[in-house]
Structures are given as structure tokens and as C-alpha cells.
Structure 1
Amino acid sequence: MIKGLYEAHLPVSNLERSIEFYKKLGFWFAWRDEDTAFFWIEEGISWIGLWVGEEHQTPYHPSLRHIAFRVDYEDLKQSLTWLESIQVEAVPFGGRTSIQPFIRPDQGNASVYFNDPDGNSLELMCYIDVPDELKHITDKLSFEEWENLVGSVR
């Protein structure tokens, strides 16, 4: 029945500023009205809606004001360079102090985080193939730690 995500929405305080930010991410501008703008993430497949309103003041929680965008592994390895090239700063996730992308072996994914101009949490995320003998690891590992670990079991 369900095939994927069609749309997601985020609150913003300034539509013009947000439009420029999301264009920098490479999304395709779809349409706008007075207080709303939509961008295709994957044209004809999924898009993001930006809505001007006081809701942008809602405190962040992972269940609110957060979107993860799918990327591939090699792109995620280069994500800090890419973010820097479009003048976007990565941010640490949770209690971490490092902005470096990291691997979650127990979840089978890897991530790097950044914020939009209103503090909405954005994430670049990819799936990773985790050997069975490493699926129990709950630590967040750097790419170097992960690749060394995987190399030792394969």
C-alpha cells in the first residue's frame, strides 16, 4: 500500500530567507503563495512545504521540526565539504560534540545534522549494510572507526 513519503512540512519565520536556503540545498522550487512555499526533493515523488507562522517558535524535539533527507554513503562521507561549500554549518547531534557524520550500526544508518535558518533540524542520512556480528553495536562510530571495524570482520 504505502510506497514512500509524499510530503513533509516545516514552520518558518521568513519565507524569502527560507526559499533561498532550500534552493542552496538543491531542491527544485515548485510553487508558493503568500505564506507557503513548496520544493521538490525528488521531482514528482516527494516535496517539502514551508509554512510561515508562529509555530517556528515551537521548541525542537525529534518528533517535531525535523526532516532527514536520503543520500548515499559516499555523499555522506563528503557531506561536511558540501555543506561548507553552500555556507551551511553542520551541528552536533544530541549530546555529541563532534559535527562529523557518524554510523549507527544497530540501526543500519549513518547521519550528519544541520539546521535551517529557523532552527528546524535537518539531517542527511543513508542506509548501511551491517554484518550480523556488528548489529549489536549501539555506539555512534566515525566513518573511520566503522570502516576499520567492517574491514576486520569481512
Structure 2
Amino acid sequence: MILGLYEAHLPVSNKNRSIEFYSKLGLELAWQDEDTAFFWIEKEKSWLGLWAGEEYKMHYHPSVRHVAFRVSFEKLKESITWLKSIGIEPVPFGRRSSSEPFIRPNQGNASVYFNDPDGNSLELMCYVPVPEGMKTITEKLSFEDWEKMIEKER
């Protein structure tokens, strides 16, 4: 029945500033009206709605102000350089002090985080195949530590 995610929404304070920001990420503006803009994430498959209004003042919580964009593992490795090249600073996730990409072996994914101009949490994320013996590791691992562990598994 369910084929994938069609849409997600975020509150923004300034629609035009947000259009500029999300365009820098390479998303295509699908349409807009007076206080709303929609960007294709995958054309004709999924989009992101940006809604201008006072809701952007709502206290951040990932259940209401977070979107993760799917990328390849190779692109995630380049994500910090790419984000900085378009004027966006990555941010640490949770209690981590580093903003570098990291791997969650127990979830089988890797991520890097950054914020939009209104403090909405954005994430570049990819699937990571995890050897069976490493699927119980709950620690968030740097790419360097991950590669060392994978080498030991081989």
C-alpha cells in the first residue's frame, strides 16, 4: 500500500528567505502562493512544504521541526565540504561535540545535521549496510572509527 513519503512541512518566518535557502540545497521550487512554498525533493514523488507564519517560534522538537533528506553514502562523506561551499554550517547532533557525519550501527544509517534560517533541523542521511556482529552497537561512530571497525570485521 504505502510506497514512500509524499510530503513533509516546516514552519518559516520569511518565505522568500527560505526559498533562497532551500534553492541553494538544490531543491526545485514546485509552486508558491502568498505564504506557502513547496519544493520537490524527488520530482513528482515527494515534496517539502514551507509555511510562513508565527509557528516558526514553536520550541524545537524533532517530531515537529525536522526533515531528513536521503543521500548516498559517498555524498554524505562530502557533505561538510558541500554545505560550507553554499554557506551553511553543519551542527552537532544531540550531545555530540563534532558536526562531522557519523554512523549509527544499530540503526544502519549515517547522518550530518544543519539548520535552516529558522532553526528547523535538517539532516542528510543514508543507509549503511552493517555486518551482523555490529548491529548491537548503539554508539554514534565517526566515519574514521567506523572504517577501522569494518576493517577488523573483514
TM-score between the two structures when normalised by the length of structure 2: 0.99
| Mapped partners of 1:46, 1:76: distance in 2 | 20
| Mapped partners of 1:54, 1:95: distance in 2 | 29
Code of the residue aligned with 2:98 in structure 1: it is S
What residue is the counterpart of 2:95 in the other structure? 95
Code of the residue aligned with 2:29 in structure 1: it is F
Q: How many Å apart are 1:115 and its aligned residue?
A: 0.3
Structure 2: runs of 5+ lacking an equivalent: none
| Mapped partners of 2:2, 2:55: distance in 1 | 28
Q: How many Å apart are 1:64 and its aligned residue?
A: 1.3
Aligned counterparts, 1:1-154, within 5 A = 1-154=1-154
| Mapped partners of 1:17, 1:103: distance in 2 | 32
Instruction: Name the count of aligned residue pairs.
Output: 154
| Mapped partners of 1:31, 1:20: distance in 2 | 14
Give structure 1 regions of 4+ aligned residues with deviation exceeding 3 angstroms.
none
Q: C-alpha offsets along residues 71-91 of structure 1, whole Å, 9 cap, x if unaligned?
A: 010100110000001100100
Structure 1: runs of 5+ lacking an equivalent: none
| Mapped partners of 1:59, 1:148: distance in 2 | 39
Q: How many Å apart are 1:62 and its aligned residue?
A: 1.5
Aligned-pair Cα RMSD in Å: 0.5
Code of the residue aligned with 1:110 in structure 2: it is A
| Mapped partners of 2:136, 2:23: distance in 1 | 39
Q: How many Å apart are 1:116 and its aligned residue?
A: 0.2
